[in-house]
Chains A and B, each alone.
Chain A
């Protein structure tokens, strides 16, 4: 199978997007009409596919189940799962090329995590509580915030940060031409494996803090915690993508993306410390004070009402919807570079 036909095959199952046809298979009148450009397109897409090794060949492509929408979605899902597996394989290979660097980055993250924890221990040298939060509860909070941040970093951070570079250099062209959802491939192209190791250390610290508090959360609490963590990751990702989309408007957006890093520092502070406008802004506009605080409150039985919980879930949905809208508006502005 040539690269072109690999790109070609899933198209039939996809259905929704305009087909990228190769000259060999231009049997419909429409694709015959567009063949001059689409030849270039499919070649570029094929080259790009070769470069990044995104194996788009999937098992169900040949089975044309158009009749049932359920099987349609199922086949789409398996297709994207297949693509994502290939992206994973790629990232593992990439990381293994620079082994020392991989280990060093984990060390760097560990060091900064330790730094946050020592800051809190210094604070608690001089006080017993911040609001009603005790020392080990705050350690738990910092652990949870680190856990969420690291998982976000593992899946999304590099990709969001790279967006401005893709736009500036015009390399986004190649990704737009791939017969997959562009947002999907832009957001998930690289996996930062170190993030999972760091998330693991965060869980370790949380487990230690739980022991110190003699805390034994129920299965329901742990499950709730994990679901809310997912909501938190979704918020980080949506806001970061929204920020990164600014690069469609101005060339130098990289600084803005890294500016988001400062917001993580609010997420690990106990919510009770904040008041007034600051609290309102970071709860309802940029929900940093919900992201880690609410999951931890569920875990340590500190949640007295369902309000914050529902708010976190609602905000994550809202942020995601907003980012999808922002992304669509932004991509429309894309004018490529040079060429």
Chain B
């Protein structure tokens, strides 16, 4: 176990070299978010006082986007998939086949340290942004809900990572994985609630989405925090989220096993 702590440590130091990049990314990332908030504000203003879109008041809508930004900062895979694919393509994984280190655990440690560093850097612009909009920032209904939110956020991070890891495994078979990653990312982007809360969609569509993994990549923890998912639906959702995490983990392991049989250690 100790060796993996070293990996986390090295990962943090490595990532700190990119602190400027992280900062730029965090700041630029806020711009489209602000644009979306402006658009919503205009829509609400036209509807008149006390208007609602779906089950959202303006304050709740803004709160939703603030929370997605926060959860996204905590869980999004940054460059891990490109790096893993690069490791496979360049033959860098050979060294891990010879050492008593599990590559998936190793990458998970790096992902963890990456998130930690990103959060440390992005905290500054994020905090300023949230302070500006603090009147919209709602607190969770109670402590228990907040606890479940944290649990779900952690599961989301794992799900994000395992899916990215599996996608990166494609590098065993094809030379250029970025197109595949972008295709999946497009679906994740819209179906996980990045652009709008999923429950403003027509009811049937939202219900179908609740069975896809995308639903649990962002929207689900946010809906828990906001008290939109509670009671039996919450339990049902958590079980489904755990199912998808385990499934993605299995898929990641399986893809690695299959890939390693094809692996020819280029450049190694």
Contact = CB atoms under 8 A, between A and B. Distances in A.
Interface residues of A, number: 37
A338 B28 CA distance: 32
A7 to B, nearest CB: 34
Interface stretch (B2-10, B135-143, B189-197): B189-197
B236 interface: no
Interface stretch (B42-50, B90-98, B244-252): B42-50
B198 to A, nearest CB: 10
B179 A108 contact: yes
A115 B35 contact: no
A263 B190 contact: no
A105 interface: yes
A122 interface: yes
Contact of B46 (A112, A127, A263, A265): A127
Contact of A123 (B29, B43, B189): B43
A108 B183 contact: yes
Interface stretch (A23-31, A40-48, A227-235, A267-275): A267-275
Nearest to A103: B179
A130 B42 contact: yes
Nearest to A268: B35
Interface string B23-40: 011011101101100110
A305 interface: no
Contact of B201 (A122, A129, A265): A122
B43 A127 contact: yes
A273 B200 contact: no
Contacts of B34: 278
Contacts of B42: 130-131, 272-273
Interface in A114-161: 115, 118-119, 122-123, 125-127, 129-131
B176 A101 contact: yes
A102 to B, nearest CB: 10
B179 A274 contact: no
B173 interface: no
Contacts of B147: none
Interface in B44-73: 46-47, 53-54
A263 B183 contact: no
Interface in B121-167: none
Contacts, number: 94
Contact of A273 (B32, B41, B176, B182): B41
Interface in A229-268: 250, 252, 254-256, 259-260, 262-263, 265-266
B186 interface: yes
A11 B32 CA distance: 47
Nearest to B196: A122
Contacts of A129: 46
Given A122-B196, A123-B196, A250-B20, A262 B28 contact: yes
A176 B143 CA distance: 63
Contact of A119 (B28, B54, B196): B196
Main secondary structure of the interface of B (DSSP, over half): helix
A164 to B, nearest CB: 11
> In this complex, which of A127, A269, A274 has the most chain B Cβ atoms within 10 angstroms of its Cβ?
A127
A130 B43 contact: yes
A213 interface: no
A255 B183 contact: no
A299 B202 CA distance: 33
Given A123-B196, A255-B24, A274-B38, A112 B31 contact: no
A272 B35 CA distance: 11
B18 interface: yes
B63 to A, nearest CB: 17
Given A269-B39, A272-B42, A273-B42, A259 B200 contact: no
Given A127-B46, A127-B47, A273-B38, A265 B32 contact: yes
A104 B179 contact: yes
A266 B46 CA distance: 21
Interface in B170-208: 176, 179-180, 182-183, 186, 189-190, 195-196, 200-202
A108 B186 contact: yes
Contact of B24 (A115, A118, A256, A265): A256
A111 interface: yes
B21 interface: yes
Contacts of A118: 190
Interface of A: 98, 101, 104-105, 107-108, 111-112, 115, 118-119, 122-123, 125-127, 129-131, 250, 252, 254-256, 259-260, 262-263, 265-266, 269-270, 272-275, 278
6 contacts: A112-B186, A115-B186, A125-B200, A125-B202, A255-B25, A263-B31
Given A126-B43, A250-B20, A272-B42, 9 more contacts: A101-B176, A107-B179, A115-B190, A130-B39, A255-B25, A259-B28, A260-B28, A265-B32, A273-B42
In the A-B complex, the 8 residue pairs with the smallest Cβ-Cβ separation, listed nearest first, are A259-B28, A255-B21, A265-B32, A104-B179, A273-B42, A126-B53, A111-B186, A262-B28
